[in-house]
Amino acid sequence: MKATPAERTKGVCSPPSIPLPAVRVDASVEMVGVLKRASEPVCICDFTAAFALSQPTISHHVGKLREAGLVEVTKSGIWAYYRLARNLDVRTRAVLDALV
């Protein structure tokens, strides 16, 4: 069971229960796929649990996605939660549907 923001414990991650594609692609694209299929925002520590990448590398990829306007973040205490930007235009969503 995935912890809600109020139930989280520092240093304890809960990986997303979302299946990732079998084919390895760029981590940023995989992260977009996770966010696209997520029913709720995903904590950055959940990405570190799901990917064989360090937290700084995950933060770098998520930062690039934020710069591109593809994701947005909400913060709750020490936790940062990411989701696909709600204001993506139809063409951008179509591209994301084709990629992930």
Structure confidence at residue 17 (pLDDT):
54
Q: What is the pLDDT along the chain (100 residues), one digit of tens a residue?
A: 454 555 667 767 766 555 544 444 567 788 888 999 889 999 888 888 888 888 888 888 899 899 999 999 999 898 889 999 999 999 998 888 887 6
83 DSSP assignment: E
Structure confidence at residue 15 (pLDDT):
62
CA distance 54 to 45: 10
Structure confidence at residue 55 (pLDDT):
86
Structure confidence at residue 95 (pLDDT):
86
Predicted TM-score (pTM) of the model is 0.68
CA distance 58 to 69: 17
CA-atom Rg of the chain in angstroms = 13
Structure confidence at residue 1 (pLDDT):
47
Burial 55-82 (b: 16+ CB within 10 A, else e): eeebeebbeebeeeebbbeeeeeebbbb
Structure confidence at residue 20 (pLDDT):
47
